[in-house]
Structure 1
Amino acid sequence: MAEQYKHIKITKEKLENDRRTRDYNIPTFKRGDLAGHGQKLNQALGNAFAQAKKQVSSVEDRFILKLEYTGMLDIKNLIKHGVEFISQEGNNICIVFANEAGLAKFSDHLSRLGKNDANITYKQILTALENVDNWTRSDRESWAVKFYGLPKNDTFRLDIELWPVQSSRHPLRQKLIQDFTAWLRANHIRQIDQVSLDSLIMYRVEVTLAQADLLLEHTDIRYVDLLPKSGINYSQMNFDIAKLPGEISAPAENSARVCILDSGINTNHPLLRSAIAENTSFVTGEEAEDDAGHGTAVAGIALYGDLEAAAASNYWKPEFWLYSGKILSRDKDTGETKYDEKTIESTLEKAVAYFAGEQGCRIFNLSIGNTNSPYDGFHVKGIAYILDKLAREYDVLFIVSAGNFNGCEEPPIPKESWREEYPSYLSCPESIIIDPAPALNAITVGSLARHNAHENEQKYPEIHALTPAGERQPSPFTRHGPSVKGAIKPDLVATGGNIASPMRTEGKQWQAEARGMGVLCLNHEFIGRTLFKEISGTSFAAPYITHLAARLLNEYPTASANLLRAMLVNQASIPNESVGIFTKNHIDSHKEENKSDLQRDVMGYGAIDTDALFRSSESAVVLHSENTIKNNTHQFFELPLPEHFLRSQRAKRELRVSLAHSPAVRTTRLDYVATKIFFKLVKGKSLADVERSFNHDLQDETKVRNDDAVTNREITSQARSKGTVQASIWSFKQLSPNVKWFVVVTRQDRPDWGAQMSLEEEAYALAITITDRENIEPQLYTQIQNRVQIQERERARA
């Protein structure tokens, strides 16, 4: 076996340039008849005001309006016309609120437009407007309410979001909550729970149908939603393991600490008990033990990774501590898991504050998903927003599942057969990722198939059930991205199981069977039964990545969550078996319709090859760095590439570069993230040669640089920079010893609001893998280590 070494830490150059910027003014939209335009808008405002007065409100003098606009809108100066911005709700829709005095000012400015408007400032705002309308009942209905309708019970529970006016501690916010809570009491609506964060005000309430109608007409309400459903559905098949070692050792005392937030863990399971550090329930009135089985199944994969391989060798060695936070429980009527009656958002805040803040857990697995909350293409909501916020606050890594797509009836997917219609439905709108999978500061995991023989196919010679997916192809139930503004999601894929279509029942091929094709996991009800069972779902792909992340943290215990994300994604590639599953027509039509890469939307950066994940070798060397960067600046890293790597002789060589950061986020903006940090790979004769292209003072003399070697690159800088973990791979056949290669890192805060939410110096992490596997006598690690030492001496002299 080749000798392995610790990854090498590298340092950025002392040079730090101001980012190239241009003065930019929001362009004025040209209108031919300004007076007519103002009159039309004023009439629309009058109608909207009349409708707004009919809506239910918890306070008399507060009105919500929906403004439709063309081009770009100067949001921060809307107040000049009497209305105050609340939120963007689409590419050309924003929401504002005002009192009667403000609306009178707005109406006055519209009436004077094109007539007596010399003293009106920011007229371009009025010319950009297309219409003034209300936020209506239909706007307030969530996807789940539209799709399923309201429950038929006499009383039922709903989640409602209010418009997040100001920040959580602002007096206006406090008054809004006070007024709305009083309104709930006055209307005899039972409040179960309430959460107030900067970008989220959520209530969980119990209502009658008549009370639900009041909520859907309430001016302060942004969305009305059904309660989350975990969406966990699985079949079981037992694997009987006859023998286990007499004693399974506990992890080392200083090992990584991993928290499983799920349905609890059965701590008596013989393969888990030596690694359990704590088991705590956050479900009111329930013990911490797992009565549903989901949490124990997830925990086993998180602890051991590939349980099939571990069982085959009967080798069991826990390498890190498991902490369990019970946030799901078993519904005694349906057998499915369910959330606590309090909102999952507040439960998660409590659990993470405890396990991260008090117990030192650095990695959290959340194999949960709300099938009632598919990503709408605009806003990150609920659980995902909480995870993005907590990841930044506690510097922890959340690993979440993409969610399972079990087909649907309207429209019918699949129409006739999972097998015949695979893989086209993998990109259908109905199989979009669900909350919390859109979270940008977390790692989202989709599913790959491993086995393709149904239980009956293994037992009997006749055809019984056939699967659409082969080994290392996307599981038929995995959900697709992208996330915010086209950010790549899922980030990674791992083995999660497969399903098959029954072949002997006419017209029933749309049914899904999974026995014998899932993932081996631990059985929570092992006493008198078997230690193992089999399950399929993205829920069981996520903990495999959790397992790798925890082992990585053991190797590099001071690594930030950003560095863990960068290192994990740095070793990911699309499996060869998956490369050709989509037709060119499917790929082209998806790109035209969605402006994104179909393969990336389904499989993200791919599956992790662990060959160089934990340690470098003489043929594959991983470099890493953690830094901070100011707004509107560039930082430079010269790659310590030895001359032998840069040789001109033909041989395949590879550069993998990845970056991760955890920005502040805001749900009322379509941009969502407060700052962007991104990288480019460029080449030049020297640092001085390269920096000219990133020098603010020379922006009129030299062209802006993009990536070099674009024909050798897998993912464009534009596509990868939309996410907060970014990566690309460059493959080379020939290089030049006379050229140096650099990674240039840039930070750019969102105009107007990004800097207010960001730190003066934002943290980020880089991971770079340099590979030269065709070298007969590789000494890449030794050569790079020497080159790093030379660079450090040169910087010290400078």
Structure 2
Amino acid sequence: MGKSHLKFISRKQLSEIQSFKYNYGFDSEKDEKDLEDKNYNRLATSFKSYLNRLGKDLEQKSKEKDKSLDVPYDIDYVLFTFQNQFVISDYFEYYYSNLGLEGTAFYDFSRKGLFAIVDWDKFQGFLSDVYNFVKYELEENHELEYARYITYISEFKLLRSHDILKFNLDEIGGIVYLSLMDFSLEQNLMQEILDSLIKYLKEEEIIYLYDDLIDRIELKNISAEQVQKIVRNFDIVESVTCSAFTTVKPGEFRTVKRERGFTIANIDEDLPLVGVIDTGISVDTVLAPLIINDRSFKLAGVGDPLIDRAGRQGIGHGTAVAGLVALGKLNHKNNFSGEVLADAKLLSIKISDQGNGYISEVEVLRMLYDVKEKYPAIRLFTLTTCYGISKTTNEGFSNYTYSLDKFAYETDSLIFISTGNNNNCINENTNYDLTYFNHEHTNLSIPSDSLNNVTVGAAADNLQDGAFMGIASGREFPTLYTRKGYNDLSLLYGRQKNNKHYFKPDVIESGGDIGFYDEVTLDWMDEPALILLTARPELGMMKEVGTSFSTPLVTNLAAKIIKKYPALTNESVKALIINGASLDMIKVPSNVEKLKTRIVGNGFVDITKSLFSNENSVTLILEDSIENEKIKIYPLNFPEYLVKDNLGKKNGVLKVTATLCFKFLPIKNNHLSYNPIHMAFSFFKNQKAEDIMTSESKIKSKLAGLSWSQNGRYVSKPIPYSNTQKISFNINIKDLVNEDKTFKLAIHAKLTKQLLGGIPENYPSVFPFSIVLSIEETIKDNTGKLYEEIQLINNVEILQDIILDTSLEADAELDI
């Protein structure tokens, strides 16, 4: 077995804390392509049509109003598309004070803004400027004047009911969500209209839940006509969505019968507790000793959480997921032979009977908070139910995603979420072609865009030895049914302004593959599928595939990490998983290279690297926090033998892989600043903080090929920030000699100013983080010295198997 990881004693390893100063050296916006439309004649022609459309839309909107309803105010909204990013810190107040427009939401990374017309007299000034601009350009009436900000706008239009409705009313389903406008200034307007809306819901006897934490209303069993009436008359609704979700719908696999059962050898061990948010976990299975006897966590209308009858013949879904969570990869790969050891105990959180339909997001979140209150020690959850509709490219964050990110932040939780499955892949392909992921409908589904949690896609591996029978190019390659990340920043930014860490999924893991039914037909086949537990022991095992099963395998790895290193934070758990994952075996064609991280994330999970160090490869963990606008410096000292011994080569003697993870309190209705915290790290030469912050042209601090992990130079028009960043580099003997065998690990942080109404009151100003870094020898004959030597020259401690007091509540005894 390998060695335990090492943890920095951060207060001792830390060498400096300074106020961070950006060395711009240039206009931070000049390297950005100037998108201002210089063809004003063309722009004026467009504006003329927008003015005409605005007038007609206002008239039509007025006609659609139901005058019999008691609504105190009518508010009109205008959706602006800008030539470039809208600088909230500079222009939010200007639009409000001078144009009578209050910004309520920003989309497309602040290239689109939704504004409420709160002062029509002032808004007439905007219309006059547009009118004068049109006359000036098209009729060459140069005596007219207009404000220059006009040319920064590329389109404007009235928000209409069809813009608000995000689904077809013919497919309304059982639950509908009203997302409400966010007024930071004119809050009284919103409250009075909200009161009248609540009154209407009561009069119509519409069942509703008001989630005041994120300003949305959940409506049950409402008619299409009632939805339309609300949208047309109550002008505080920003969007209307439904909650149709699905788990996996694979093919018609055969059931594999097993005559021999097995027992779990360590049921009395104090194991991490994992919440399985699914279709229930069958207590009439070998998992019974691991299941908490608690039937209280279920959505209204669903059955017993300890019964799982989902799928055909009632073979279940949540039970198979729970089996993977608790028993993991090795037991499944060994067909449960030998001594079966569990890694987790299980809490069933039932949100569906069959794994599809409509769910109450509000009730799901309330239930999760209730779970945390009853079981404070629970840290991990797995969620394999995603919405059936894929996200559009560069779409904003949903309320559901926001709620889960907020939950993870507030409760110190980590949810492992599947990307969702694209089951049409077998009908849209005849072979394994990764260019298929160029299609938008292969994007992931809500809520797998969550940033504080872990998103998992599927690799083709099926946990079976022998010949691989799937269609993928190899076991570690992504499956065609997995879904890719939906963000493509290249469509919005120039080549020099990008964030290579802003992607999903985080990792991929074994999910089973599809197969060739014949030479030109793909289908769900037995041979490349996973063998899983069913909810009906008399039917034995079953064969299935899907991201629903790759996701609990990663949850199992998280449980293993917590079991071995219980004192680590969730951010360290996440960073260990991502840092251990590898892209080395996933070689994709050049025409797919740009899509690679959006399909496979940081690569295929490696359990051994995430869990263990060894004599020639050491993983170190730094847990600390950093204040807003500060930089911290940590020396990283390397052993003497690396420069004294003959290692057989001089370049690339070591490889360093490092991952930063931190959690954040998300910001609603601001696509660009959803994560408002810019945090970046890197490794530098053996210099002081002042030198590292100085221009590279004056003092060369960078190690070859390295820079800050993400760019924070863009202040007024920033790039979106990632809270997960991974870098790697090789170390040459020359570098170690030149820097006296010491590099500096630096990290800095700052809050963006591009927020509606400024930084929220009481928003945190100190940000906890974790950096996991692995150092490994890459020489032909390993020395066996690295692990021990690193300990001696750095302030570290060996992470021991610490037993924490995580006893369960008295009323939640195990059902054995």
For the superposition of Structure 1 and Structure 2, which TM-score range results when normalised by the shorter chain?
Answer: 0.7 to 0.9
**Which secondary structure state, in structure 2, belongs to the residue aligned with residue 393 of structure 1?**
helix
Task: Output the amino acid matched with 1:317.
Answer: L
What is aligned with 1:590? Answer: none
Q: What are the equivalent positions in structure 2 for 1:673-712 lying under 5 Å apart?
A: 673-684=674-685, 686-688=686-688, 691-694=690-693, 702=698, 708-710=703-705
- TM-aligned CA distance change 1:239 to 1:88, over 3 Å: same
What is aligned with 1:785? Answer: 791
What is aligned with 2:309? Answer: 291
71, 88, 102: which one pairs with 1:84? 102
1:338 aligns with 2:378: no
CA distance in 2, matches of 1:368, 1:384: 13
1:128 aligns with 2:123: no
CA distance in 1, matches of 2:198, 2:176: 14
Q: Write out per-residue CA displacement over residues 187-213 of structure 1, whole angstroms, 9 at most, x where no aligned residue.
A: x47334443333x52433434443444
- TM-aligned CA distance change 1:691 to 1:769, over 3 Å: farther
- Deviation, 1:438, is 0.6
Q: Write out per-residue CA displacement over residues 490-515 of structure 1, whole angstroms, 9 at most, x where no aligned residue.
A: 000000111124218xxxx5562232
Q: What are the equivalent positions in structure 2 for 1:219-258 lying under 5 Å apart?
A: 219-234=235-250, 235-245=252-262, 248-253=265-270, 255-258=271-274
CA distance in 2, matches of 1:364, 1:169: 39
- Deviation, 1:631, is 1.8
Q: What are the equivalent positions in structure 2 for 1:489-500 lying under 5 Å apart?
A: 489-500=504-515
- Deviation, 1:535, is 1.3
**Greater Cα shift, 719-728 or 655-664:** 719-728
Task: Output the amino acid matched with 1:779.
Answer: K
Q: What are the equivalent positions in structure 2 for 1:465-544 lying under 5 Å apart?
A: 467-468=471-472, 470-483=474-487, 487-503=502-518, 512-526=523-537, 528-530=538-540, 532-544=541-553
**Which secondary structure state, in structure 1, belongs to the residue aligned with residue 326 of structure 2?**
helix
What is aligned with 1:654? Answer: 655
**Greater Cα shift, 780-789 or 67-76:** 67-76
CA distance in 1, matches of 2:104, 2:485: 27
CA distance in 2, matches of 1:25, 1:74: 12
Task: Output the amino acid matched with 2:338.
Answer: N
1:422 aligns with 2:442: no
- Deviation, 1:533, is 1.6
CA distance in 2, matches of 1:168, 1:236: 57
**Greater Cα shift, 548-557 or 164-173:** 164-173
TM-score by length of 1: 0.81
Contact 1:275/1:318 (<8 A) preserved: no
- Deviation, 1:248, is 3.5
What is aligned with 1:446? Answer: 457
**Which secondary structure state, in structure 1, belongs to the residue aligned with residue 244 of structure 2?**
coil
CA distance in 2, matches of 1:759, 1:704: 34
What is aligned with 1:767? Answer: 772
- Deviation, 1:45, is 5.7
**Greater Cα shift, 441-450 or 419-428:** 419-428
- TM-aligned CA distance change 1:112 to 1:166, over 3 Å: closer
Contact 1:573/1:609 (<8 A) preserved: yes
Contact 2:80/2:155 (<8 A) preserved: yes
- TM-aligned CA distance change 1:239 to 1:181, over 3 Å: same
- TM-aligned CA distance change 1:60 to 1:171, over 3 Å: closer
What is aligned with 1:98? Answer: 117
What is aligned with 1:593? Answer: none
Contact 1:168/1:197 (<8 A) preserved: no
- TM-aligned CA distance change 1:618 to 1:25, over 3 Å: closer
**Which secondary structure state, in structure 1, belongs to the residue aligned with residue 525 of structure 2?**
coil
What is aligned with 1:303? Answer: 326
- Deviation, 1:398, is 1.0
Q: Write out per-residue CA displacement over residues 610-654 of structure 1, whole angstroms, 9 at most, x where no aligned residue.
A: 223223222111111122212222222222222334667356421
**Which secondary structure state, in structure 2, belongs to the residue aligned with residue 579 of structure 1?**
coil
CA distance in 2, matches of 1:452, 1:314: 17
336, 342, 357: which one pairs with 1:318? 342
**Which secondary structure state, in structure 1, belongs to the residue aligned with residue 370 of structure 2?**
helix
**Which secondary structure state, in structure 1, belongs to the residue aligned with residue 574 of structure 2?**
helix
- TM-aligned CA distance change 1:556 to 1:86, over 3 Å: same
- Deviation, 1:305, is 0.8
- TM-aligned CA distance change 1:681 to 1:715, over 3 Å: closer
- Deviation, 1:284, is 1.6
TM-score by length of 2: 0.80
What is aligned with 1:461? Answer: none
1:150 aligns with 2:170: yes
84, 88, 99: which one pairs with 1:71? 84
Q: What are the equivalent positions in structure 2 for 1:372-411 lying under 5 Å apart?
A: 372-407=389-424
1:555 aligns with 2:574: no
- Deviation, 1:682, is 3.2
- Deviation, 1:534, is 1.8
- TM-aligned CA distance change 1:65 to 1:709, over 3 Å: same
Task: Output the amino acid matched with 1:475.
Answer: T
**Which secondary structure state, in structure 2, belongs to the residue aligned with residue 679 of structure 1?**
strand
Task: Output the amino acid matched with 1:725.
Answer: T
**Which secondary structure state, in structure 1, belongs to the residue aligned with residue 387 of structure 2?**
coil
- Deviation, 1:311, is 2.3
- Gaps (5+ residues) in structure 2? 134-145, 311-315, 490-498, 713-717, 798-816
267, 272, 297: which one pairs with 2:283? 267
- TM-aligned CA distance change 1:735 to 1:170, over 3 Å: farther
- TM-aligned CA distance change 1:111 to 1:631, over 3 Å: same
Give me the CA root mean square deviation.
Answer: 3.9
Contact 2:681/2:709 (<8 A) preserved: no
CA distance in 1, matches of 2:336, 2:547: 23
- Deviation, 1:679, is 3.1
574, 580, 587: which one pairs with 1:579? 587
**Which secondary structure state, in structure 2, belongs to the residue aligned with residue 106 of structure 1?**
helix
**Which secondary structure state, in structure 2, belongs to the residue aligned with residue 541 of structure 1?**
helix
- TM-aligned CA distance change 1:173 to 1:428, over 3 Å: same
229, 242, 249: which one pairs with 1:214? 229
- Deviation, 1:446, is 0.4
601, 605, 608: which one pairs with 2:602? 605
- Gaps (5+ residues) in structure 1? 117-121, 331-335, 459-464, 588-596, 792-798
What is aligned with 1:60? Answer: 73
Contact 1:663/1:673 (<8 A) preserved: no
What is aligned with 1:796? Answer: none
- TM-aligned CA distance change 1:210 to 1:651, over 3 Å: closer
- TM-aligned CA distance change 1:557 to 1:536, over 3 Å: same
Q: Write out per-residue CA displacement over residues 245-271 of structure 1, whole angstroms, 9 at most, x where no aligned residue.
A: 566431423x32211111111123123
Task: Output the amino acid matched with 2:764.
Answer: L
- TM-aligned CA distance change 1:261 to 1:645, over 3 Å: farther
CA distance in 2, matches of 1:205, 1:267: 31
- TM-aligned CA distance change 1:482 to 1:618, over 3 Å: farther
CA distance in 2, matches of 1:474, 1:226: 30
State the percentage of identical aligned residues: 18
Q: Write out per-residue CA displacement over residues 531-562 of structure 1, whole angstroms, 9 at most, x where no aligned residue.
A: x2221100100001100101111222222221
What is aligned with 1:671? Answer: 672
**Which secondary structure state, in structure 1, belongs to the residue aligned with residue 677 of structure 2?**
strand
Which structure is richer in relative contact order (CA contacts within 8 A, separation 6 or more)?
Answer: 2
What is aligned with 2:811? Answer: none
Task: Output the amino acid matched with 2:395.
Answer: F
**Which secondary structure state, in structure 1, belongs to the residue aligned with residue 388 of structure 2?**
coil
Task: Output the amino acid matched with 1:82.
Answer: G
